[in-house]
Amino acid sequence: MNQTAFLPFCRPLLIGSIPLEDHREATELILDATPDIPIWAQLPVYSQEGMMAQFLPGMPGHTTSEEREYVDTSSESFESELVSFYEEYMAVTEGGQSLDQTRFVLDDARAKGFSTLIRMLRDSGPELFAVKGQITGPITFATGVKDQDKRAVFYDDQLRDAAVKLLAMKAAWQVEHLRQFNVPVILFLDEPALAGFGSSEFISISKQDVLDSLNEIIDQIHQRNGLAGVHVCANADWSVILDSKADILSFDAYTYFDKLAIFSQDLTRFLDRGGIIAWGIVPTLEPENIDRETAQSLLSQLQSKIDHLVELGIDRSKLLAQSLITPSCGTGSLSAEHAQKVLTLTKEVSRALRQELQA
């Protein structure tokens, strides 16, 4: 796909998690708020839909105990599991094997939102502009998943490589299935851990490590004509994402806009190559902010931030054409009432901005 052909013109989009127990109810909320670009719902009320657990099946050494899920490299079967993993990966990437016959299928017991969205779109879906899936990003996943000694798999080169390839194939599987609707497919890599990049916690992780991990997954998305986004819901070294092969940068514009604006030259290059900015202007972190804000107050804030980038030399019409309106993060940790307001505000801010564009 020619990325510059994807011009969302400030349509609304959601991030992923919803604080409900019923996947169909959550999907109905999503379709109401963002019918142009729906997503599949992640319901973190279920532990198996947590950021690590949801995509962990298929990882060599994957072990579930009463206390936790982890990667056990000490088991007698680990080496053979590792060999089997790479054989399956090579069968897909070099042998043309269908992903549907592999370990890389999303487990419906852990991602029921995916099959629910597919079914509802087939039954009576709206006219789509695009459709979105998501996966936990490789830095968040590989620093969050631990081995039997509680050491992050990121720091073992072999395990890190397997983790990145596992995520790449699960992202690819989603893109292949979402393509059935004959609209652009967006696949977000959710990377909250990138907020810690450069800190003492991740002192041994280089920018090249991050870029290589992100780009390996993005390459698999691109090979299937998908668009890849990277979402970080806190402050980050934004040059990492802007220098990656990502098509969409998704950030918390409500809280961290000033931090991103520092990278105006990188942003200009990103937009010039067709990059999309997903403005997380609707707050999700503090319930009191959700209570206080209105669509009009958020629209005013967003317009002033857009004006600021224009003053820094970014073309307004390009910026507006290559923007999406989103919440600052998922709503899974909120009450159902606050989540509903976030979805409504996202829809209303987008609608108001798009009306101004058409005026």
Contacts of 62 (CB under 8 A, 6+ apart): 56, 69, 71
> Which of the four pLDDT bands, split at 50, 70 and 90, describes residue 126?
confident
* pLDDT above 50: residue 236: yes
- What pLDDT score does 199 carry? 59
Q: How far apart are alpha carbons 358 and 318 in whole angstroms?
A: 15
Task: Estimate to the nearest angstrom the gap between the alpha carbon of 334 and the chain centroid.
Answer: 19
Q: What sign results for the dihedral spanned by CA atoms 24, 26, 28, 31?
A: negative
Q: pLDDT band for 4, please (50, 70, 90 cuts).
A: very low
Q: What is the dihedral of CA 108, 170, 284, 312, to 10 degrees?
A: -160
What pLDDT, in 10s, does the model give residues 181-204? 999 999 999 999 998 776 556 677
Alpha helices by DSSP H, listed for the chain, are 23-33, 78-93, 112-124, 138-144, 157-178, 207-223, 238-243, 253-261, 264-272, 287-292, 295-311, 316-321, 336-358
Rounded Cα–Cα distance for residues 102 and 89 (Å) = 9
State the average pLDDT over residues 32-48: 97
CB atoms closer than 10 angstroms to residue 225: 13
Residue of 32, 71, 65, 33 lying closest to 151 (CA atoms): 71
d(CA 290, CA 321): 27
Residues listed for the chain: 359
Tell me the whole-structure pTM to 2 decimals.
Answer: 0.96
Domains by residue range for the chain, with CATH: 3-358 (3.20.20)
Q: Single out the residue of 239, 174, 195, 226 nearest to residue 42, CA to CA.
A: 174
The proportion of the chain whose per-residue pLDDT surpasses 90, expressed as a percent, equals: 91
Reported as a pLDDT band with limits 50, 70 and 90, residue 357 is confident
The pLDDT tens digits for 68-108 are 999 999 999 999 999 999 999 999 999 999 999 999 999 99
Residues 275 and 243 sit within 8 Å (Cβ to Cβ):
no
Residue 184 amino acid letter: P
The answer to whether the CB of 229 falls within 8 A of the CB of 249 is: yes
